[in-house]
Amino acid sequence: DVKVTQSSRYLVKRTGEKVFLECVQDMDHENMFWYRQDPGLGLRLIYFSYDVKMKEKGDIPEGYSVSREKKERFSLILESASTNQTSMYLCASSLGSNRDTQYFGPGTRLTVL
Amino acid sequence: SQQGEEDPQALSIQEGENATMNCSYKTSINNLQWYRQNSGRGLVHLILIRSNEREKHSGRLRVTLDTSKKSSSLLITASRAADTASYFCATGQGAQKLVFGQGTRLTINP
């Protein structure tokens, strides 16, 4: 059974802290994605990666960076968290192209105080 | 920018009735996918329809695609309380990306 896991379901951080969100998939998928989801705005793509050490900016990359050192792991980094980054963060993976299903993790609800 | 736009934004029906949600998009697509999200959880893939297909079925789900109108619909027949969720359409663009709409919030009343 396919599985995408995220390191935390809920996270509370303070403004200015460095925040790491981890995502791991066990399906040997090439592509991995980070989205944020906010009421009224739907899912917005932050970054994605189509191979180890490769990354592409999505629609809203400002304030975020990513790391993919191993195929199964994709990390989202908030260098200096701000209150406007309070959101639900969703990680997903897919086998190859966008013709394939994306498999999502359970999400991390991040609150920045 | 978001391409898929779902309509309506919210839908409330009685258990046993059929639910229809629509999705419109603006540019050429490779495929269109529908996902479900239960409250506070991740998305789950429901069905994918390719740009050269017009209709697809999966259990109680029926999806249609009209590329001339750049629109798709998702029909859930004989709805159940467990169908209460948000439903998103997503369009395949470029090589890897999917673009998601804002979703339709479906409530099934017992």
The whole-number pLDDT of residue B2 equals 37
Cβ separation A40–B102 shorter than 8 A? yes
pLDDT digits (tens, 9 = 90+) for A12-32: 999 999 999 999 999 999 999
Q: Which has the closest alpha carbon to B73: B92, B49, B97?
A: B49
Cβ partners under 8 Å of residue A86, min gap 6: A110, A111, A112
For A93-113, what is the mean pLDDT? 88
pLDDT digits (tens, 9 = 90+) for B39-50: 888 999 999 999
The whole-number pLDDT of residue B97 equals 75
Residue of A nearest to B86 (CA): A42
Per-residue CA distances from B71 to A16, A23, B28, B84 (Å)? 43, 33, 11, 23
CB A87 within 8 A of CB A37: yes
Chain B touched by A54 (CB under 8 Å): no
Residue of B nearest to A2 (CA): B44
For A46-75, what is the mean pLDDT? 95
- Could you say which of B40, B96, B102 has the minimum Cβ distance to residue A97? B96
Q: Which has the closest alpha carbon to A83: A8, A12, A7?
A: A12
All residues of chain B having their beta carbon less than 8 Å from the beta carbon of residue A51 are none
Average pLDDT of chain A, as a whole number: 93
Written as six digits, the tokens of A61 are 């990359």
Burial class (CB in 10 A: 0-12, 13-18, 19+), B16: exposed
The whole-number pLDDT of residue B4 equals 67
Residues 84-113 of A with CB under 8 A from B: 88, 90, 92, 94, 97-99, 101-107, 109
CB B9 within 8 A of CB B102: yes
Written as six digits, the tokens of B42 are 């991740």
The C-alpha of B14 sits at a distance from chain A's nearest C-alpha, in angstroms, of 25
The whole-number pLDDT of residue A78 equals 97
All residues of chain A having their beta carbon less than 8 Å from the beta carbon of residue B105 are none
The C-alpha of A14 sits at a distance from chain B's nearest C-alpha, in angstroms, of 22
All residues of chain A having their beta carbon less than 8 Å from the beta carbon of residue B100 are 35, 42-43
The whole-number pLDDT of residue B5 equals 79
The whole-number pLDDT of residue A99 equals 64
pLDDT digits (tens, 9 = 90+) for B58-109: 999 999 999 999 999 999 999 999 999 999 999 876 666 788 888 999 999 9
The whole-number pLDDT of residue B1 equals 33
For B14-31, what is the mean pLDDT? 92
Residues 42-61 of B with CB under 8 A from A: 42-45, 48, 50
For A59-83, what is the mean pLDDT? 96
Q: Which has the closest alpha carbon to B20: B80, B91, B103, B76?
A: B76
